[in-house]
Amino acid sequence: MKARLALPAFACALLFAGCSFTDPIARPDLDLPAQWNETAPGNSATALPAPDWWRDFASPQLDALITDAFTGSPDLRAQGERVIQAELALRVTRSSLFPDLNLSGNSGWNRSHSDDTGTSERKDSSLNLSASYELDLWGRVAASIASDKAGLAASRYDYDSARLSLAASVAVTYFQYLASIERLAIARENLTIAERVLKVVDARYRNGAASALDLSRQTTTVLSQRAQIEPLEVQVRQTRSALDILRGHPPGTDILTQQPDAPLAALNIPAIDAGLPSELLLRRPDIASAEARLAAAAANIGVARAALFPRISLSAGGGLASGLLLSLADPASTVSLSAALVQTIFDAGRLGALVDSARSHERELLENYRKTILTSLKEVEDALSDTARDAHQEEAQSQILAEAERSLHLAELRYREGADDLLAVLDAQRTRFSVQDQLAQLRLARLTGAVNLYKALGGGWQTEGTGATDTATR
């Protein structure tokens, strides 16, 4: 009696032994810093970035552009299809948990003739139902399902990463568009100033108070300013087209045919709380994706290891057969049961190499995971330092612009009165033109830096539960 009970107990032990073939998920050994080395100046933010972080720039037009991009971007739609493909792959793998059922039927008529036996005729009809099922004794199917779950989680995190990158790209391109408009306006204003000075020089030249050299110099300044306008006009059109493409529209069919709702200088530059470095691991979808892929690699080791053990499959079948055409009247019935065991005896080390390959792939993904974390820390540090630098430079450039405008005004007055020559006016013009253009570019750099910091911090994204692998294995 004890011997009879031992076999079912052993079978149950084998049935649940699959979990022991799955390796624990590896983790990189990293000492994260307690605080960031860089801090943004005047940062009074008390809340972490929100998922709709772009609203902090206070631009309804930017909000409309990003919303439109989320629905029309070809890249985001393609990434969404990858998520669907991962879901279907998981569904296919899960189907291995259930037996395969097949129903087949046939009915035929056959007539043969020979000189010896004469003519014979045969009619038959049959209907068969068969079922087959592979016992997952070593956890191969369970490990495959765990791998596909982690792969599905990774594809969803990749979609979130693509969505974050798309929002950041739209925001940066929109700011570049506004900066191009502002730089074009500055160039036109500077052309107006240069033409105004040219009229003064021309009047003085005609009255004999200025030389032909003075007239030629100021004419050169006017022509130089005029030549800067066309490239800026082209840049405005190109950045607008880039926004159309990001949102999945043909160039020229966008909402930017109207004037921007706010100039570059009127946009709000938000204060952003960077949080702690350790929190970054739960706030970036690319880190979660790398962790989920690491979980899939660990499960794939279990799949490869289970292939070393025998595969046991059960099958059953039943059928009805009749000697009539298209009829099962008075049938004969058949029933079959079978069990099959397949064990590889010799494969020249192929299965063992597959296990080693899976382990090597896990180590590769572990290093990729480590690199992703290190890169994310650097991106935040760089974004914080850029934010501080650009804020200081914009403040200094604003003061320089005020002095440059004052210098140009005084130089014009002194030239009109004959107290200075034209060189002082030309120098003041060049300084004022350059400083004003640089100020617009610094404003763009500050807005771009804020977007980069939002993106480096994950844009308000957070993992579900305590980590990517928790989501991947649910």
The model carries a pTM of 0.83
Q: How far apart are CA 234 and CA 350, in angstroms?
A: 60
Q: How far apart are CA 304 and CA 382, in angstroms?
A: 42
Q: Which tens digits make up the pLDDT trace of 65-114?
A: 999 999 999 999 999 999 999 999 999 999 988 888 998 888 888 777 77
Mean pLDDT of 400-406: 88
If one compares 173 and 104, the residue with the highest pLDDT of the two is 173
Checking if the pLDDT of 5 tops 60, the result is no
| Sheet arrangement for strand 332-342 | 100-114, 118-135, 311-322, 332-342
Mean pLDDT over the full length of the chain:
84
| Helix, coil or strand: residue 236 | helix
Checking if the pLDDT of 466 tops 60, the result is no
Q: How far apart are CA 360 and CA 356, in angstroms?
A: 6
User: Can you tell me which residue has the tokens 């004999």?
Assistant: 208
Q: How far apart are CA 217 and CA 200, in angstroms?
A: 13
Residue 437 pLDDT level (bands cut at 50, 70, 90): confident
Q: Which tens digits make up the pLDDT trace of 180-220?
A: 999 998 899 889 888 888 888 888 888 888 889 888 988 99
Mean pLDDT of 251-273: 75
Q: How far apart are CA 366 and CA 322, in angstroms?
A: 62
Nearest alpha carbon to residue 134 among 306, 311, 335: 311
Q: Which tens digits make up the pLDDT trace of 332-356?
A: 788 888 888 888 888 898 889 989 9
Checking if the pLDDT of 255 tops 70, the result is no
Mean pLDDT of 246-251: 89
Q: How far apart are CA 468 and CA 150, in angstroms?
A: 9
Q: Is domain 26-99+139-309+350-472 classified as CATH 1.20.1600.10?
A: yes
CA-angle at 53, arms to 52 and 55, nearest 5°: 80
Residue 420 pLDDT level (bands cut at 50, 70, 90): confident
Q: How far apart are CA 152 and CA 293, in angstroms?
A: 9
The per-residue pLDDT for 418 is 75
What are the extents of the domains in the chain? 26-99+139-309+350-472
The per-residue pLDDT for 15 is 40
Name the CA radius of gyration of the chain, rounded.
37
Task: Find all residues with CB under 8 Å of 423, minimum gap 6, and list them.
Answer: none
Q: How far apart are CA 195 and CA 36, in angstroms?
A: 51
249 φ/ψ angles, rounded to the nearest 5 degrees: -120, 150
pLDDT above 70 coverage of the chain, percent: 88
The per-residue pLDDT for 330 is 74
The per-residue pLDDT for 115 is 66
> What is the residue type of 31?
D
Burial class (CB in 10 A: 0-12, 13-18, 19+), 194: buried
